[in-house]
Amino acid sequence: MAHTIADIMALTLADAGVKRIWGVTGDSLNGLNETLRKMGKIDWMMTRHEEVAAFAAGAEAAITGELAVCAGSCGPGNLHLINGLFDCHRNHVPVLAIAAHIPSSEIGLGYFQETHPQELFRECSHFVELVTNPAQMPEVMHRAMRAAIGKRGVAVIVVPGDVALLEAPKGATGTFPRLNPPRIVPNAGDIDTLVTLLDEAKTVTILAGAGCAGQHDAVVALADTLGAPVVHALRGKEHVEWDNPFDVGMTGLIGFSSGYQAMENGDLLLMLGTDFPYRNFYPKDAKIVQVDRDPSQLGKRAPLTLGIVGDVGETLAALLPRLTRRTDRTFIEAARKHYASARKGLDDLATPSKPGRPIHPQYLAKVLSDLAADDAIISADVGTPTAWACRYITVNGKRRLLFSANHGSMANALAQAIGAQAACPGRQVISLSGDGGFAMSMGDLLTLKQLNLPVKIVIVDNGELGFVALEQKAGGFLDVNVKLENPDFAMIAQASGILGINVTESADLESALREALAHDGPALVSVKTASYELLTPPSIKAEQAKGFSLYMAKAILNGRGDEVVELAKTNLRLALPGL
């Protein structure tokens, strides 16, 4: 019996090791659905929103390192994928999106649900192509998959529903030769130059990002050799922070003062596998060397003294034998002392609240970290949940962390947890969700129930878009349009057939989290947290201090003095530890 184009697509994906396709079906996907049903090798993972499908595929790819797949029906269906695909692409994970399309004879005629997917997906993909003739397959499929795997990002194939049902070319097979990501070895001359620059620099600071994955020991060895503090970017935390006596925390808006100062005070900044985006946190006077496998990333954020194209592992393997261990440890010892002080200051904030007071989110994150499994996968929503996670969730080389780190989209945590749990059914998966982010994707609670995924959701319920409110105050504005009238999230979970628990007192937090984490199935814990918790940046500039002063003056003049009092009550312990 002859194969259809849909058959070739499914067989090719199965041969490549794909185990599931995330999406919401529609009639333009009938051919693919029927093939999957008959073949029985790939599971269709139905979500309640296509954006969740794309985020879930991205999380699966991030955790497994393998190609993951999502699909959307024609027009609005595949258009809903786009936000999640932007996140996948900017997180550099291999994802193939199948965008079904309107009947091929109607393209360009303003047909029902018509869009132009090739144009819409171009900015969030390495490859996007429309299939209108069976003769294009399976070559277009192969090119898309190679682009996603080889370039570490998104590829999209656009297939009209009628084309998917057509007979495949004679001799077409559903095979895919396995493709391993390439090793990128740095130029020997660049290593020579780097050795000279490091020898000449009195002090060196390392900024480590996601490109350091799998290179923990090499980064620690380099830091030891150079006597260099290691500052980690958000996505570098899980790869370099643990078991590292040279780590001094993060920098950036949600970082540590010790990380910020280590970058400011070094003569040379060595960037390893990071595209840290905040220009105003780069040192003004230091020489900067950047190592990245993608040449287009070099020098994007700050002027470079040297840019090196290469994998971090290959670069350090070539560099380390050329260096002599420094005996002067003054710089690293000062940086570590600063880090110890900064770490203590943050830990002192992770304390229970007095009875009747909202729970400090720092305490919530710390207790969650203490109770989570050693190999837990934890996703965190954009905004304050990400800040609390990066400051208080400890890593150990086995735990994994998922963020919308570069795209910065709300509603990422639950969707990423769904994808991670499906890929790793034997591991504990936790979504640290903001109330705003969770409400945005709340419909996919039903996905947890329907797919029987035992994800544990912990909601930071502070009744507002917390990070946005903080930014408004820091800019000298009244916090407006950020308050949230939330439902009882635990009751919504219970109505969905999921364990739901409300926590309003610090004394009840640990037992509630223990119950949820031990539950055999999905569970939700909604934690009432303080709305006026300040997230202190690593360096408070004059304009930020001025902004907060303006905010307080405006609040009082506009009859909102009670908010200023609550802000002071909640954050007085920043100035008076122990309260």
Catalytic residue among 231, 248, 382, 458: 382
356 burial level (CB within 10 Å; 0-12, 13-18, 19+): exposed
Rounded to an integer, what distance in angstroms lies between the CA atom of residue 255 and that of residue 366? Answer: 16
Q: Is residue 112 among the annotated active site residues?
A: yes
Q: Is residue 438 among the annotated active site residues?
A: no
Catalytic residue among 112, 119, 480, 485: 112
Q: Is residue 467 among the annotated active site residues?
A: yes
Short-list 35, 11, 17, CA closest to 25 = 35
Q: Is residue 55 among the annotated active site residues?
A: no
Residue 577: DSSP 8-state: T
- Bridge partners, 158 (sequence order): 99, 130
Compute φ and ψ for 510, nearest 5 degrees.
-60, -45
Burial 20-59 (b: 16+ CB within 10 A, else e): bbbbbbbebbbbbbbbbeeeeebebbebebbbbbbbbbbb
Q: E strands along 149-193, which residues?
A: 154-160
Ramachandran sector of residue 319 (left: φ over 0; alpha: ψ -120 to 50; beta: rest): alpha
Catalytic residue among 50, 129, 241, 264: 50
Catalytic residue among 467, 489, 527, 533: 467
Catalytic residue among 66, 113, 477, 566: 113
Helix spans in 132-187 (H): 139-151, 161-164
Q: Is residue 246 among the annotated active site residues?
A: no
Q: Which two tokens stand for residue 217?
A: 């020991």
Q: Which two tokens stand for residue 500?
A: 């739901």
Rounded to an integer, what distance in angstroms lies between the CA atom of residue 433 and that of residue 456? Answer: 10
Short-list 552, 549, 571, CA closest to 562 = 552
Rounded to an integer, what distance in angstroms lies between the CA atom of residue 48 and that of residue 52? Answer: 8
Contact between residue 149 and residue 181 where contact means Cβ atoms under 8 Å apart: yes
Q: How many CA atoms lie less than 13 Å away from 325 in the CB half-sphere?
A: 6
Concatenate the DSSP letters of all residues of 452-470 into one string. Answer: T---EEEEEE-SB-HHHHH
Concatenate the DSSP letters of all residues of 301-345 into one string. Answer: SS--SEEEES-HHHHHHHHGGG-------HHHHHHHHHHHHHHHH
Rounded to an integer, what distance in angstroms lies between the CA atom of residue 455 and that of residue 563? Answer: 36
Residues noted as catalytic: 50, 112-113, 382, 467
